[in-house]
């Protein structure tokens, strides 16, 4: 092999190693349980009843799955777009999407400090028709995940 080929191969190997930094999983574990539910912005009796029935349900959550009895399964592939956001930005995003008569969510209603910086994520499901927003995770912590549900209710996983 000529020296120029060896240099090229070494350069390619170095570029590949640099382009593929080791990544940590987004979630600390795979098996979760619905530990609490809430309607901090207010929700209908039907939604509250449905949420109460989710308590104790098993959830599988990892970098490629979101398997929960309260959502339809993604029939294609799933990926997450994680972000680091101040809680104020997360709450402002939710206020923009809330109906006019909804009570505003607060850091306390999410169980976080007012100056918290949250790891959040949007789960995207890619199916034959394309990619669509699937689930919104408001906070991802080692021992807890907050999932946004209908009527701005919140499902807590532990």
Residue 18 lies in a domain: no
The pLDDT of residue 42 is 87
Residue 79 lies in a domain: yes
In a domain, 15, yes or no: no
* Band of pLDDT at residue 99, cut at 50, 70 and 90: confident
Q: What angle do CA 46, 134, 28 make, to 5 degrees?
A: 100
Q: What is the pLDDT of residue 14?
A: 38
Cα 35 to Cα 43, 122, 146, distances in angstroms: 19, 21, 10
Domain count across the chain: 1
Distance, in Å, from the CA atom of 37 to the CA atom of 55, rounded to the nearest integer, reads: 7
CB-based contacts of 138: which residues, under 8 Å, 6+ apart?
90, 94, 110, 118, 120, 146, 147, 148, 154
| pLDDT digits 0-9 by tens, 56-91 | 999 999 989 999 999 999 989 999 999 999 999 999
Token pair 């918290």: residue: 116
pLDDT digits (tens, 9 = 90+) for 123-154: 999 998 899 999 999 999 999 999 999 999 99
Residue 139 is part of which domain span?
Answer: 25-157
Residue at 66 is within a domain: yes
Does residue 1 sit within a domain? no
User: Which DSSP string corresponds to 95-151?
Assistant: HHHS-TTSPPP-HHHHT--TT-EEEEEEEEEEETTEEEEEEEEEEEETTEEEEE-GG
What burial letters (b/e) apply to 77-104, b meaning 16+ CB within 10 Å? Answer: ebebeeeebebeebbeebeeebeeebee
Examine residue 123 and state whether it is found in any structural domain, yes or no.
Answer: yes
Render pLDDT for 26-44 as a digit per residue (tens, 0 to 9). 999 999 999 999 999 889 9
Is residue 2 a part of any domain in this protein? no
Is residue 5 in some structural domain? no
pTM: 0.83
């Amino acid at each position: 092999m000529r020296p120029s080929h060896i240099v090229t191969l070494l350069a390619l190997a170095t570029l590949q190693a640099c382009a593929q930094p080791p990544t940590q999983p987004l979630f600390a574990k795979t098996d979760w349980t619905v530990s609490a539910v809430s309607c901090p912005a207010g929700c209908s009796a039907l939604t509250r009843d449905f949420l109460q029935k989710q308590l104790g349900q098993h959830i599988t959550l990892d970098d490629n799955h979101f398997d929960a009895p309260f959502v339809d399964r993604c029939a294609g592939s799933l990926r997450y777009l994680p972000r680091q956001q101040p809680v104020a930005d997360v709450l402002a995003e939710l206020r923009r999407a809330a109906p006019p008569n909804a009570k505003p969510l607060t850091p306390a209603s999410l169980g976080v400090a007012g100056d918290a910086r949250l790891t959040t994520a949007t789960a995207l499901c890619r199916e034959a028709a394309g990619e669509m927003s699937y689930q919104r995770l408001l906070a991802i912590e080692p021992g807890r995940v907050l999932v946004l549900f209908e009527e701005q209710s919140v499902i807590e996983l532990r």
